[in-house]
Amino acid sequence: MNELKIILEIISLSITIVGVPIAIFIFYKEKRKERKDREYLTFNALDDKYLDFLNLCLSNQDLGIYEMSNKKLSEEQQTRAIIIFEILVCLFERAYLMYKEHNKSFIGKQWSGWLAYIEDWMGYTSFRSAWKTILSSQFDGEFLEFMNKVYDDKATPNKA
């Protein structure tokens, strides 16, 4: 009976010694998979919305928005352009809010492209005007601070 007790204690100890590191490894691997899945979902959701924006630009080529041309627009065209700019800012806000929740590595790989894109648009006179007069008050507070900083940093527009 005593030998059985010793054998069971050895087995129990062996399971603990082997099981704990295996459990930690499995936990770490599962967390990593969850993080990768979250990163993919973020990228995919924003990619879908960006494609929608591109299709919107394609179907409204007369506005010259995508190529950032210096076209004179009618009042109706100006209204459509403002709406498209608002959709674009919504996309920027979504990217800003979604990326701030991720780890620095993922942010470094993905956010830098969005930041460059935002800065590019902020250099566009019509977009800057729409931002300052209409769009700069209806979004998340942190996002507004961020966009206003980009606006201030891009004080001299470099595009039409």
Read off the pLDDT of residues 108-152 as tens digits, 9 standing for 90 and up: 677 888 899 999 999 888 888 889 888 877 888 899 999 999 999
Q: How far apart are CA 79 and CA 85, in angstroms?
A: 10
Give the amino acid at 1: M
Q: pLDDT tens digit string along 19-75?
A: 888 888 888 788 787 777 776 676 777 888 989 999 999 999 888 888 777 778 889
pLDDT of residue 158: 57
**Token pair for 108:** 């470094």
pLDDT confidence band for 76 (50 / 70 / 90): very high
pLDDT of amino acid 157: 58
Q: How far apart are the first and last CA of the chain?
A: 90
**How many other C-beta atoms can be found within 10 angstroms of the C-beta atom of residue 54?**
11
- pLDDT the model gives residue 38: 73
User: pLDDT value at position 19?
Assistant: 81
How many domains, the chain?
1
Within a domain: 136: yes
Q: Indicate whether 98 pLDDT > 90.
A: no
pLDDT recorded at residue 103? 65
Measure the CA dihedral 70/76/78/80, to 10°.
Answer: -110
pLDDT, residue 137, reads 78
Residues 126/83, Cβ–Cβ less than 8 Å: no
- Structural domain including 105 reads 41-153
Answer yes or no: is 63 within a domain.
yes
In a domain, 27, yes or no: no
Q: Is residue 110 part of a domain?
A: yes
Residue 91 has pLDDT above 90, yes or no: yes
The residue among 60, 130, 140 whose CA lies nearest residue 92 is: 140
87 burial (CB, 10 Å; 0-12 / 13-18 / 19+) is: middle
The pLDDT value recorded for residue 107 is: 67
Asked if residue 5 is part of any domain, the answer here is no
